[in-house]
């Protein structure tokens, strides 16, 4: 809910350039519908090809999790080259986000922290966003099936 509340604090001109697209049918959906603005779009839960098409439109990835051990979606966002806004409780953030390099961290319980992170990312130039995107993609390649398999097999050579 803090994502929507923080987003709604942005200037109208920023919201016009940066619509908030939410994907899913989680327990917060009804509450969000009550406070959403014209710049907030709620997509239903999407899978497979439909989700890939939506994510291929680009933007910024945001995970406002209140608790999350790892979150494979963060790795997926990084591989796709998304600049990121991640909750500071996302375990995968330590691997796939470097503060100010490819995104920003925020405290999901602190609306001001969330708002400041949103302001930072929406104030980046197109060139800076492209650089953040490239950096996310590079960080996403830190873990791959080839590297994981090699790591697992390395125990055989000891």
For the domain that residue 52 is a member of, what is the CATH number? 3.40.50.2000
Interacting residues of 153 by C-beta distance below 8 A, sequence separation 6+: none
126 sits in which H/E element: helix 126-140
Q: What's the pTM?
A: 0.89
Is 52:76 a contact under the CB 8 Å cutoff? no
Q: What is the pLDDT of residues 30-53, one digit of tens each?
A: 899 888 889 999 999 999 999 999
Longest CA span, the chain: 60
**Would you tell me how many other CB atoms lie within 10 Å of the CB of residue 18?**
16
Give the pLDDT confidence score for residue 64 in this predicted structure. 93
Give the pLDDT confidence score for residue 84 in this predicted structure. 98
Give the pLDDT confidence score for residue 150 in this predicted structure. 86
Q: What is the pLDDT of residues 95-142, one digit of tens each?
A: 999 999 999 999 999 999 999 999 999 999 999 999 999 999 999 999
Asked if the model's pLDDT at residue 158 lies above 80, the reply is: no
Domain region containing 109 = 2-157
105-108 long-range contacts (CB < 8 A, ≥24 apart) are 108/2, 108/64, 108/65, 108/66
d(CA 72, CA 145): 13
- How many domains are contained in the chain? 1
Is 50:23 a contact under the CB 8 Å cutoff? no
C-alpha distances (whole Å) from 28 to each of 2, 51, 92, 123 are 11, 20, 23, 28
3-state secondary structure of 93: helix
């Amino acid at each position: 809910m803090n994502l929507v509340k923080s987003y709604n604090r942005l200037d109208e001109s920023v919201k016009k350039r940066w619509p908030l697209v939410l994907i899913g049918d989680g327990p917060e959906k009804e509450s969000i519908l009550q406070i959403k603005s014209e710049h907030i779009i709620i997509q239903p839960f999407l899978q497979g090809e439909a989700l890939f098409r939506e994510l291929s439109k680009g933007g910024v990835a945001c995970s406002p999790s209140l608790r999350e051990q790892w979150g494979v979606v963060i790795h997926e966002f990084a591989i796709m080259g998304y600049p990121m806004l991640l909750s500071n409780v996302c375990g995968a953030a330590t691997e796939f986000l470097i503060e100010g390099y490819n995104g920003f961290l925020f405290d999901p319980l602190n609306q001001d922290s969330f708002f400041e992170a949103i302001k930072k990312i929406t104030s980046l130039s197109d060139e800076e966003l492209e650089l953040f995107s490239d950096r996310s993609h590079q960080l996403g390649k830190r873990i791959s099936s080839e590297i994981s398999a090699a790591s697992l097999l390395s125990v055989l050579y000891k």
